[in-house]
Amino acid sequence: MAMNIGSADDGEDAVMSAINTTPLVDVMLVLLIIFLITIPVVTTSVPVTLPKERIEVRETKPENIIISVDPAGRIYYYDTPIKNVDALVERLKKVAALKPQPEVQVRGDMSARYEGVGKVLLACQRAGIVKVAFITEPPALGG
């Protein structure tokens, strides 16, 4: 790296007209590296965890509550049909008061509309249920 000291016959007040661009290039390279690292992080606007297909073995405990939704959208508390969401909320409020709070497991038929499962989730939220799980079947072998 070279340094311009100036000539001996110039006074100390002489103006140097050359611009040293080395610090500018260094700063620009650092900024370029920072932008290259941060841009892929910024491009995803909504942070979501995408589902991964895997079989997770879960133990079914006797205190777990099982709510089913059939293809017509009818809701069942175990095997008992529920008239409306308010009746389900009342049942779930009793469950929510238990310590420790049991897990609510939702069994939704694959051909059921989302509305039926959404009503169950709304009832769980209104009742104050903390743990909600979905029961699924594992995929066929080889597929």
For residue 126, give its domain range. Answer: 65-134
Residue 116 falls inside a structural domain = yes
Beta strands across the sheet bearing 75-77: 80-81, 75-77, 65-69, 104-108, 132-134
Domain count, the chain: 1
pLDDT of the residue at 68: 87
Residue 83 falls inside a structural domain = yes
- Average pLDDT of every residue of the chain: 79
- pTM reported for the whole predicted model: 0.57
Which CATH number covers residue 126? 3.30.420.270
Residue 43 falls inside a structural domain = no
pLDDT tens digit sequence for 60-90: 666 788 888 888 888 989 888 899 999 999 9
pLDDT of the residue at 45: 47
